[in-house]
């Protein structure tokens, strides 16, 4: 593993050089600096939407299970084969 330290360091430093010394890299860093403060808010919005969707799916599955029980079928026995 030690024989990889120097090559990986050179690759890492080369990547940083690309970010810092090219126009595209500087634009990418500027974009990141501009939008990074919004990230927690956007993630929280996505998380709430995902949770609502999971709750909706769970409610639908509960309804399906109740319907199967009303029909005299055990919803868990279908997967025991």
pLDDT of residue 49: 97
Structural domain tally of the chain? 1
Tell me the pLDDT of the chain averaged across its residues.
86
> What's the rounded Cα separation, in Å, for the pair 36 and 32?
6
The answer, yes or no, to whether residue 76 has pLDDT greater than 70, is no
Rg (CA), the chain: 26
Sequential DSSP letters for 14-42: HHHHHHHHSHHHHHHHHHHHHHGGGHHHH
Could you list the residue range(s) of the whole structural domain that residue 25 is in?
Answer: 2-79
pLDDT of residue 17: 83
């Amino acid at each position: 593993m030690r024989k990889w330290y120097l090559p990986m360091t050179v690759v890492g430093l080369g990547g940083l050089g690309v970010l810092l010394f090219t126009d595209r890299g500087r634009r990418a860093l500027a974009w990141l600096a501009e939008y990074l403060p919004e990230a927690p808010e956007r993630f929280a919005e996505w998380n709430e939407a995902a949770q609502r969707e999971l709750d909706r799916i769970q409610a639908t599955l509960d309804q399906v299970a109740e319907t199967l029980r009303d029909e005299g079928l055990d919803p868990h026995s279908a997967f025991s084969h």
